[in-house]
Amino acid sequence: MADIRFDDDVDDVIEHCLTGNVICRILKNTNVQPFNFEKPPQSNYNGNFPKENSLKRKDSFRKIVQNGAWGSNHGINNFNYNSSSGLILGFSRLIFEGEGSTLFWSQEITAVLHNLIYKIKSNKTKNYVIRMLDVPCGDMVWMKRFLESRNDINYTGIDVVPELISSHKKNFKNKNWKFYVQDIVDVKSLGFYDIILCRMLLQHLYSGDILRILQLFSDSGSSFLISTTYPSEAINEELNLQQSDNPGRYRKVNLELPPFSLIAPICICRDGPIYNRELNTHYVAVWRLPLINVIDCLDGYSHFVDVGGAKILYNSCSKKYL
């Protein structure tokens, strides 16, 4: 396993989540504060962050999955969903949530999870069980494979789409995995988890709702957050649900820039294949909880760094050097 310093309270480098190689060093941020979504760091944002009506959000995601709007061409409406049994015909073999849910696209995140679990357990007793929250759990295609490869995870998956959760409860009834229909934006509090996995969710939400979710994670008393982020983005454009060409309600979100302004993660790596470096700008990063904001980050800093063989322009509120 890569020797990544997940247990080091003083992070002065960003490492590659798989290899442990140093991507860049960090100049210490002196102006930081505990994450506070009600009082975000001073920035060029006016603080009026849009939020979405809960019922509209739930209905929107349900329609996306039903119609395959994330490009999977496998919407629930194209198959036989039995509402009485809660089963989707052939569900365990199908992808309802886009390329990111495939085994091909999930090799890196699977390795990141194994690596982080190894490091957490290195400081625990031999039989320590990892508590993991997966939000959203989605169609469980790659996660099913990951969980079946281990016997030391207490897994909880939540999703806003009731058909998915109903099918999971039926398909995995002999597993000790827990599933709940929940909209994470509406959740008021969370218990402790060693790992909160929030992969490929935040880019589909308004900034105000993202801030609320990050606050929830930060206040949970949990240990680590793994989240999708887009470090090459120089500004976080707001989600526009009026675009007719954006049925998947997608935009790129850089968690290290305003209005989120998170301190640099412990580690980061590409999420998905490298066959198209221009299109694949998905990355996953690991942050220690509770989260920390960088204060007075107006535009951030740009640095060219090499992340696992791909040289990218890394935009962040943290000053970096090689």
Domain ranges of the chain: 13-39+49-68+94-321
Global pTM value? 0.87
Residues of the chain whose pLDDT is less than 70? 1-11, 29-30, 40-47, 68-104, 243-247, 275-280, 321-322
The residue to which tokens 């589909």 are assigned: 204
What is the total residue count of the chain?
322
Q: What's the confidence (pLDDT) of residue 102?
A: 66
Q: What's the confidence (pLDDT) of residue 105?
A: 75
C-alpha distances (whole Å) from 222 to each of 30, 113, 288, 291 are 24, 16, 9, 10
**Alpha carbon distance 158, 132 (integer Å):** 11
The residue to which tokens 């002196």 are assigned: 30
Pairing status of strand 195-198 against strand 130-134: parallel
Q: What's the confidence (pLDDT) of residue 80?
A: 46
Q: What's the confidence (pLDDT) of residue 221?
A: 98
Q: What's the confidence (pLDDT) of residue 240?
A: 87
**What are the tens digits of pLDDT across the range 99-120?**
556 666 789 999 999 999 999 9
Joined together, the tokens standing for residue 141 give 């295609």
Q: What's the confidence (pLDDT) of residue 70?
A: 52
Cross-strand partners of 228:
284
Q: What's the confidence (pLDDT) of residue 42?
A: 56
CATH 3.50.50.60 fits 13-39+49-68+94-321, yes or no: no
